[in-house]
């Protein structure tokens, strides 16, 4: 299905308004930069972040946690296993 630029922009604006919960299972706070500003997922806590920020945190936090397990070059499968622990549903 072909979408117009307006449809795509609307979708991105809608996603940007969504909140996503992220759990940091590590015993230390995890900080990444989003557009030059630090964003922190507190240790052993669930934080709520805007959709795009949450995706960024998940990617980097998953890599960090896989590296802590001794896997120097994580695969997508390695990351996906950790992401299952990081994502928190609203159920």
**Ranges of residues in the chain whose predicted pLDDT is under 70:** 1-2, 16, 90-91
CA dist 57 and 39 (Å) reads 8
Question: Which residue, chain included where needed, has tokens 């805007």?
Answer: 50
All structural domains of the chain with their residue ranges? 19-88
Taking the C-alpha atoms of residue 41 and residue 39, their distance in angstroms, rounded to an integer, is 7
Provide the pLDDT for residue 33.
97
Q: What is the rounded CA–CA span in Å between residue 38 and residue 56?
A: 12
> Which token pair is 88?
């928190």
How much is the pLDDT for 16? 67
Q: Please tell me the predicted confidence (pLDDT) of residue 6.
A: 79
Rounded to whole angstroms, the Cα distance separating 90 from 31 reads 23
């Amino acid at each position: 299905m072909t979408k117009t630029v307006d449809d795509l922009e609307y979708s991105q604006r809608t996603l940007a308004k969504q909140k996503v919960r992220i759990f940091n299972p590590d015993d230390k706070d995890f900080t990444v930069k989003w557009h030059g500003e630090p964003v922190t997922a507190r240790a052993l806590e669930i934080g709520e972040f805007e959709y795009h920020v949450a995706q960024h945190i998940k990617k980097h936090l998953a890599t960090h946690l896989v590296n802590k397990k001794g896997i120097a070059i994580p695969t997508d499968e390695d990351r996906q296993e950790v992401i299952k622990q990081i994502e928190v549903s609203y159920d």
